[in-house]
């Protein structure tokens, strides 16, 4: 069975580490938590392999250690290979054994008519339509109206904001409910990330009596179950 | 053409106590009769192989390279090679700050080998944090020299890493 050369495994580990790190950063979006130590474990082992590779590429233990590094990448190795292939970093660098180039998806590119992630700051909020107590807390964007959202404010709290408690959907976008939040003054530079989880799902908030549409049960303020 | 001293310093994998110096000097000087190697530690003292009572190691002129077996542990060293006359007068010299960390790197590598054999060790209370600390200290030692020419900082990092290795039954 062909096996990847050690320089390719090192590249796979580098790419896998950033992929894992990205998934950790977005961890709350996915059902499965990613071990936050995973990229660090990859880093530690990768540094060992790099060190020995630099000194003695034929060292008898190097292959086993590199294989362990590859194993540590888990399912991310395949994603890393796909990225490396797309970037022109051909797995299998001519050394003995070579590698296996995973087939690229067909078609090679997709045209997306939706966004998964919208990044904004306080300055993007509606500064003219204020809340009853005079705060700028509305963000209006037709793309997110009625969508299944996750709202994050990493400058405020390192988790997704609680729907119905810390934010709620409005007819034109969302409203931040966090006490004291005011995009016009104290939170002008506060970063927000709005993830559209299921672009095809349209939620239509109606009233507090609740209802059901497209498989979701909701109340207003919106809570999903 | 006057002599311009220069040299390279390296280690061989698996021989962490030995430094190999190779003379890359150019030019010549008929008055030079010997070379001296000074391995100065961060505290200003000199490192020498067992049995040598001077601060320096004599490097005979007829040897293009010399193996010096002096590293009982890892050190950041200021290596000075001096070309001297018969009376000991220095004619030319060259110096390099170097970190020799093969003891610790080999130890870290062994930890990975052990981990590959039994990945459950990652769950041990102190293991993971200690490995991170060891790696950070090793990289910091190298960076202290590479970016800061800071032999004291480099040795301090090596000392902290050595502390972990000396107490491996506690930390790993």
Query: What is the mean predicted confidence (pLDDT) over A203-217?
Result: 43
Q: Provide the chain A residues 12-41 that lie in CB contact (below 8 A) with chain B.
A: 37, 40-41
Q: What integer pLDDT is reported at residue A165 of this predicted model?
A: 84
Query: What is the mean predicted confidence (pLDDT) over B23-28?
Result: 94
What whole-number distance in Å separates Cα of residue A85 and Cα of residue A110? 17
Q: Which helix (H) or strand (E) holds B22?
A: strand B18-23
Does ipTM exceed 0.90?
no
Q: Band the pLDDT of A106: cuts 50, 70, 90.
A: very low
Query: What is the mean predicted confidence (pLDDT) over A27-31?
Result: 61
SS3 content of chain A, % helix, strand, coil (to 5): 30, 20, 50
Considering only CB atoms, which chain A residues are within 8 Å of B116? 64-65, 68
Q: Band the pLDDT of A196: cuts 50, 70, 90.
A: confident
Contact present, A222 and A169 (Cβ < 8 Å): yes
Q: What integer pLDDT is reported at residue A218 of this predicted model?
A: 39
Q: What integer pLDDT is reported at residue A24 of this predicted model?
A: 84
Instruction: Write the pLDDT tens digit of every residue in B50-59.
Output: 999 999 999 9
What is residue A103's DSSP assignment? P
Query: What is the mean predicted confidence (pLDDT) over A94-117?
Result: 47
What whole-number distance in Å separates Cα of residue B161 and Cα of residue B139? 10
Considering only CB atoms, which chain B residues are within 8 Å of A63? none
Beta strands in chain A (DSSP E): 117-121, 138-140, 147-152, 167-169, 173-176, 191-202, 211-213, 216-218
What whole-number distance in Å separates Cα of residue B60 and Cα of residue B38? 14
The C-alpha of B112 sits at a distance from chain A's nearest C-alpha, in angstroms, of 6
Which of A46, A48, A73 is the best substitution to test chain B (most B C-beta atoms within 10 A)?
A48
Q: What integer pLDDT is reported at residue A29 of this predicted model?
A: 61
Q: Which helix (H) or strand (E) holds B10?
A: strand B7-10
Does position A215 have pLDDT exceeding 70, yes or no?
A: no
More confident residue, B88 or B163: B163
Query: What is the mean predicted confidence (pLDDT) over A181-197?
Result: 85
Judged by a CB distance cut-off of 8 A, whether residue A58 touches chain B is no
Lowest mean pLDDT among A163-172, A193-202, B64-73: A193-202
The C-alpha of A59 sits at a distance from chain B's nearest C-alpha, in angstroms, of 9
Strand partners, B18: B69
| Average pLDDT score over chain A | 76
Long-range pairs of A123-128 with CB within 8 A, sequence gap ≥ 24? A123/A183, A123/A188, A123/A189, A124/A183, A124/A192, A125/A176, A125/A183, A125/A184, A126/A173, A127/A183, A127/A184
Instruction: Write the pLDDT tens digit of every residue in B72-112.
Output: 999 999 999 999 999 989 999 999 999 999 999 999 999 99
More confident residue, A97 or B165: B165
Lowest mean pLDDT among A42-56, A125-139, B61-75: A125-139
Task: Tell me which chain B residue has its CA closest to the CA of residue A65.
Answer: B113
Instruction: Write the pLDDT tens digit of every residue in A125-163.
Output: 998 888 888 889 999 988 888 887 888 887 887 777 888
Percent of chain B with pLDDT over 90: 90
Does position A175 have pLDDT exceeding 80, yes or no?
A: yes
pTM comes to 0.63
SS3 content of chain B, % helix, strand, coil (to 5): 35, 30, 35
Non-local (6+) Cβ contacts of A89 within 8 A are A11
């Amino acid at each position: 069975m062909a096996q990847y050369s050690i320089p390719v495994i090192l590249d796979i580990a580098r790419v896998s580490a950033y992929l894992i790190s990205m998934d950790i950063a977005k961890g709350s979006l996915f059902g499965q938590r990613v071990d936050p130590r995973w990229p660090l474990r990859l880093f530690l082992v990768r540094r060992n392999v790099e060190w020995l590779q630099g000194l003695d590429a034929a060292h008898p233990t190097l292959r086993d250690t590199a294989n362990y590094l590859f194993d540590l990448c888990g399912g991310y190795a395949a994603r890393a290979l796909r990225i490396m292939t797309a970037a022109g970093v051909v797995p299998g660098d001519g050394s003995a054994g070579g590698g296996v180039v995973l087939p690229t998806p067909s078609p090679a590119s997709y045209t997306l008519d939706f966004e998964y992630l919208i990044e904004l700051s306080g300055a993007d909020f509606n500064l003219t339509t204020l809340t009853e107590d005079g705060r700028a807390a509305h963000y209006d964007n037709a793309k997110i109206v009625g969508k299944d959202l996750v709202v994050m404010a990493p400058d405020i709290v390192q988790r997704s904001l609680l729907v119905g408690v810390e934010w709620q959907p409005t007819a034109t976008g969302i409203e931040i409910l966090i006490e004291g939040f005011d995009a016009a003054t104290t939170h002008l530079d506060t970063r927000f990330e709005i993830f559209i989880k299921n672009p095809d799902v349209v939620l239509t908030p109606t009233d507090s009596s609740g209802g059901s549409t497209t498989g979701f049960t909701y109340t207003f303020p919106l809570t999903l179950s | 053409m006057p002599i311009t001293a220069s040299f390279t310093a390296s280690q061989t994998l698996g021989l962490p106590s030995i430094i190999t110096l190779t003379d890359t000097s150019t030019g010549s000087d008929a008055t030079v009769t010997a070379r001296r190697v000074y391995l100065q530690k961060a505290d200003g003292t000199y490192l020498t192989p067992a049995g040598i009572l001077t601060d320096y190691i004599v490097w005979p002129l007829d040897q293009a390279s010399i193996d010096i077996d002096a590293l009982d542990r890892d050190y950041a060293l200021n290596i000075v090679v001096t070309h001297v006359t018969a009376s000991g007068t220095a004619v030319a010299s060259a110096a390099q700050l170097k970190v020799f960390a093969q003891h610790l790197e080999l130890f870290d590598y062994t930890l990975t080998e052990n981990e590959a054999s039994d990945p459950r060790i990652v769950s041990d209370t102190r293991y993971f944090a200690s490995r991170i600390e060891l790696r950070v200290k090793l990289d910091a030692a190298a960076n202290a020299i590479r970016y800061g020419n800071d032999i004291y900082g480099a040795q301090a990092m090596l000392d902290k890493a050595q502390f972990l290795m000396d107490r491996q039954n506690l930390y790993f």
